[in-house]
Amino acid sequence: MDQISNLLVSIKNAIMSKKGVIFAPKSKHKIAILEILKNSGYVNNFEVNADSLKILINTNKLENLKLNIDSKPSRRMYVKSKNIINPKKGLMILSTPKGVMDGKSAKKQNLGGERICTLEE
């Protein structure tokens, strides 16, 4: 399993078990994804240590969250900017040539990319 999928599964498991804090190895992509989740209110905060991340999850808001990991190492999912459809209540995270961003930002900038995950409430 790749590291991003591992992070997303850890977040999903923490929500289901109502665990408020998780730890994960550090990487630039993970930090970018956590920034998007923090700005959207899905993650309360996160701390970057020398080689790990401490993530504080907002378990109250996320009880009914449906997190779909779209792109996997065995099957990458790419989407063009005109085909980006954001969920009504939720978020799509993409890896674009200009970095990791949510679906709304990518559509505004006319960017497509690899669909990492979709969160729906």
Number of structural domains in the chain: 2
24 and 42 fall within a common domain: yes
Give percent above pLDDT 90 in the chain.
50
pTM for this structure? 0.89
Centre a 10 Å sphere on the Cβ of residue 84 and count the other Cβ atoms it contains: 20
Structural domain that includes position 112:
66-120
Q: CB 101: neighbour CB atoms within 10 A?
A: 22
Question: In terms of domains, do 70 and 102 share one?
Answer: yes
If asked whether residues 37 and 72 sit together in one domain, one would say no
62 vs 30, higher pLDDT: 30
CATH number at residue 106: 3.30.1490.10
Here the CATH number for the domain that contains residue 30 is: 3.30.1370.30
Does residue 87 surpass a pLDDT of 70? yes
